[in-house]
Amino acid sequence: MFQDFGPLTERRRLERQQRRKRLIVAGVSGVIFLLLLVVGALATLHVSAAGNSSATMPSSTTPPKEIHSTTRTIKMLCSSTDYKSTCVSSLSKAVNSSRGSSSSKLQPKDLIKAAVVVVTSEVAQAFSHSELIKSDDPKVKGAIEDCKELYNYAKDELKRTADGLGKNVLQQLPKREHELKNWLSAVMSYQQTCIDGFPEGEFKTNMKKAMTKAKELTSNALAIISEASSLLSSLDIQGLGLGRRRLLSREGGDCPGCQVSHKDGLPAWVSDADRRLLKQQQAKKLKPNVVVAKDGSGNFKTISEALAAMPAKYKGRYVIYVKAGIYDESPTVTKNMMNVTMYGDGSRKTIVNGNKNFVDGTRTFQTATFVAIGEGFMAIDMGFRNSAGAVKHQAVALRVQSDRAIFLNCRMEGYQDTLYAQTHRQYYRSCVVAGTVDFIFGDAAAIFQNCNLVVRRPLDNQQNIVTAQGRVDRRQSTGFVIQSCRFIADKKLKVAGAPPIRSYLGRPWKEYSRTIIMESTIGDFIHPDGYMPWEGDFALKTLYYGEYGNKGPGAGLAKRVSWPGFRVINKQEAVKYTVASFIQGDDWIKATGTPVRLGLYN
């Protein structure tokens, strides 16, 4: 039969459509409510143990039918996690603590913020175990100090996770997935770094046990965020906007810096001061706030002095020009020093030099000549060097913890552990990184593009390994991507009469190590296996090592390792590891005027 579409029929049709929409919204809201409780419980231990009454909700009797339904839903949600029993127990406690006479009036964001308060206290409890350790061993004492520092970083990341959930959870979660996973991945890295700082033995074993549950819950939170985001992104519901993922620079809502792009093409979160700076930079006319010069011709004689004098609440980008010279110091761009640009007269002319090392008693974490922590750090035409030499083993030239960090035309020189790409998103363009053993290591999401990776000669009893990526959990959004780079042998790698040195592209520092080498040129000095194990069969099944479109005499794949985790990837898979996809660089890198290839070259 033909249907008559008169005004009354149309009105009824619209009413049915609205009812369906309300039902869908209610159903999705219920699922997301519980999903977000898991996120809030990412490091929750016992509330009673924390003694934090501010996060505890009043309790009341709950109907058995509701309890059964909730328990079943919790088990369903936890099925996607790697630590299911931990997920179920922690989520059940979070739900129970939220029940009460006023619970119906609470919004999901209220419960999440309350749960994250518990998270902060419980993560503190896990890290504080290090303070219970008593030892006269300077290495143990140093590890305890590192754990204190790392806890402060973890606490900041957890706060950002809570704040990043925003007011409208349904619409914001898919858009903020990258940010949330970035922060939680850093928390996992800090947890592991705390453990790694202790020498082998009882103290390290106990610290690992103390951190176990916090690590499991963080992993579960990453899993739930991924699943929830995928669910919402797949929902194409008219009028709800749940299935749309947009760049941060084009979003609206309550996310800081998520407004519509400015008319000049830069993201709206870029301040007016930054806009002026970026235009100057593009014109090769950077105007510094201060000048550093060893000869006294600038505002300061050292970089550390210039950083210390930076205004506490400076708005915009703070530019430091470092004149040519070798600066024997160990500057740190602290977490409060955001949006610092530092540029020199060339990577071989402006050099920051140090020689702290493991053999002389400094922990690897603290050996760095230069440390970049504050978000948005950018270095141009600078050199970073650790001159301790191969005999001193671990000796870091540059440690980068800064999110959205950029290094352009820079040089990092050392031997073992030259560049510590520790956490967050990093981009290296047209840089030179020189070293021997694991000379690019860490747990960042870092992309190296158009760089020269120079393999030097180590000690005669050592082997060269370019990368040692340290992803500790398969849910982390971290990994190293080497794109359109060149693997080059230093002229002194081969010495007449000396034993030959084997050189490899990488080895798995941690269980879920991830490294992708694509569209790069590999020299013939690289061993045909390509990669070497860390110890025995550790991580060989869980790592992710991929190659795509490489060339050169060392790029042959016929004799590559046959590990389950190694693969030759196709173009579709390679696209996932480009600048735009892997570190969301189409937003923040382009905004600085830095040359960048967002996709594949071929």
42/374 Cα distance (integer angstroms): 25
Residue 193 C-alpha from the chain's centroid? 14
Provide the CB-side half-sphere exposure for 105 (13 A, CA). Answer: 5
3-class DSSP string for 240-281:
CCCCCCCCHHHCCCCCCCCCCCCCCCCCCCCCHHHHHHHHHH
Q: Residue 419 is which amino acid?
A: L
3-state secondary structure 328-387: ECCCEECCCCCCEEEECCCCCCEEEEECCCCCCCCCHHHCCCEEECCCCCEEECCEEEEC
Return d(Cα 504, Cα 532) in angstroms, integer: 7
Query: Strand, helix or coil at 427?
Result: strand
The angle that helices 84-98 and 64-78 make with each other, rounded to 10 degrees, is 140
State whether residue 415 is helix, strand or coil: coil
CA nearest 280: which of 238, 327, 317?
317
Strand partners, 369: none
Residue appearing with tokens 């009469």: 497
Contacts of 155 by beta carbon, 8 Å cutoff, 6+ apart: 120, 123, 124
Q: How does 250-276 read in b/e, with b if 16+ C-beta sit within 10 Å?
A: ebeeebeebbebeeeebbbbbeeebbe
List the structure tokens of 461.
């009893």
Q: What are phi and psi of 425, to 5 degrees?
A: -95, 130
Strand partners, 360: none
Burial of 562-575, coded b for 16+ CB within 10 Å and e otherwise, reads ebebbeebeeeebe
Output the CA–CA distances (angstroms, integers) from residue 116 to 36, 162, 165, 184, 476, in the order listed. Answer: 11, 6, 11, 13, 20
CA dist., res. 418 & res. 442, Å (int): 11
Is residue 203 within 8 Å of 135, Cβ to Cβ?
yes
Q: To 10 degrees, the CA torsion angle through 185, 186, 188, 194? A: 170
Distances in whole angstroms, Cα of residue 486 to Cα of each of 42, 463, 516, 535: 40, 19, 14, 27
Considering the candidates 196, 438, 443, 473, report the single residue annotated as catalytic. 438
Burial class (CB in 10 A: 0-12, 13-18, 19+), 535: exposed
438 tagged catalytic: yes
C-alpha–C-alpha distance, residues 139 and 135, integer Å: 9
- Of the candidates 469, 447, 422, the residue with the CA atom closest to the CA atom of residue 520: 447
Please list the active-site residues: 438
